[in-house]
Structure 1
């Protein structure tokens, strides 16, 4: 994993932290940083040829997604993959938040939003779905973009904060490492149904279609968890 050197040459602190975050995310998603192993801030800084500060900032961001955990007096460790029970809890939390997002976002959706949702679906259709993160990353980003567009368009800062805190998308996609995306056709069809509700301006239908989608994701995620175990 290589990124900018300590002599940043004018690169901003935020840009440098983003580079480090990206390098760590790829290593976590591909399993090169294995579940349960410690992540040394100083060691990672040496490996990436940066100061400890952007590594510390990147790990704090990853902690918010549940990808790493900070242990008292012991630093960071890579979090284990979610158990079936944890996955169920995650999806139940998403079932509280995301249908509400869809309902409120649909109420003031415009052509720009529906166009962006449509583009996210088209990007899902075109994205590779292979077993490495490099292969399925474009799919993950399009999937995340679809859900984030709706979360941000709900225009409720507290729901958006709750959505961000879940880290639901990245956690689910950890199960695709070594497998590839297993549920693309289902997810694309479900996203399309949500989009149709937005295009019709039917907020209650958008809420219900989001429920259907998250319920489907819950069932498929539990299956992927069992396959990996």
Structure 2
């Protein structure tokens, strides 16, 4: 039984099928199981997942908002093409605008649960040695940034960050293919955590901006490190 089969088997019928289909398709798009630029056949997916067209269409509409798929009139949905260096620059400009402020606000809204989860994410990044499933690193990194964005107390900032999610994941795919500068990423996340834990808004904002800027520069020099973004 593969990952998709396990996810489908675990779906409680009372839960949102569209959410579960979204999760599976997102993973396939990020991993490249659904090739960049390829057509996405709704009929085929409905048969595979044993669901109606409705949850498939709902999931694809959500994926379109992340940039992972695109829809063309009379042609249906396609997986987005591979991202370019120019798109990377634009994405990082957006992240440097949003995420440092998120870190500053999160440092002023501390709770034991938030700090425990953030610490666990950094520990997972520190423990990753490159020998295991690269998705473990991706997931810890994504969890770290998501926790900060959702702990700002500002739902509009959180929504702005969420809108970037699919684009960030697309760039992570390049890192899985070419390797990544894991040590730098783990160290920089640790510095962000330290500043947030100390309740130092200025330092948290500065360290997040430094991390994103450094990651952008490393990615520009060597696309193989895009996995840490």
Q: TM-score, normalised by structure 1?
A: 0.85
CA shift digits 1:36-87 (9 cap, x unpaired): 1111111221233322122212212222221111122321111012110011
State the number of aligned residues. Answer: 221
Computed over aligned residues only, the root mean square deviation of the Cα atoms, in angstroms, reads: 2.5
- Find the aligned partners of 1:72 and 1:80 in 2 and give their Cα distance: 18
Q: Does 1:174 align with 2:173?
A: yes
Give the gaps of 5 or more residues in structure 2: none
Q: Secondary structure of 1:178's partner? A: helix
- Find the aligned partners of 1:147 and 1:110 in 2 and give their Cα distance: 16
Contact 1:84-1:226 at 8 Å conserved across structures: no
Give the gaps of 5 or more residues in structure 1: none
Query: 1:65 matched to which residue of 2?
Result: 66
* Residue 116 of structure 1: how far off its partner (Å): 1.9
Contact 2:42-2:57 at 8 Å conserved across structures: yes
- Find the aligned partners of 1:63 and 1:130 in 2 and give their Cα distance: 33
Contact 2:45-2:56 at 8 Å conserved across structures: yes
Contact 1:66-1:79 at 8 Å conserved across structures: yes
Q: Secondary structure of 2:33's partner? A: coil
Query: 2:13 matched to which residue of 1?
Result: 11
Q: Does 1:50 align with 2:51?
A: yes
Query: 1:183 matched to which residue of 2?
Result: 181
Contact 2:218-2:225 at 8 Å conserved across structures: no
* Residue 99 of structure 1: how far off its partner (Å): 0.6
- Find the aligned partners of 2:29 and 2:175 in 1 and give their Cα distance: 12
Distance 1:60 1:130, change over 3 A: farther
| The 10-residue stretch of structure 1 (142-151 or 59-68) with the greater mean CA deviation from structure 2 | 59-68
Q: Does 1:136 align with 2:137?
A: no
Query: 2:151 matched to which residue of 1?
Result: 153
* Residue 130 of structure 1: how far off its partner (Å): 5.9
- Find the aligned partners of 2:177 and 2:80 in 1 and give their Cα distance: 18
* Residue 118 of structure 1: how far off its partner (Å): 1.0
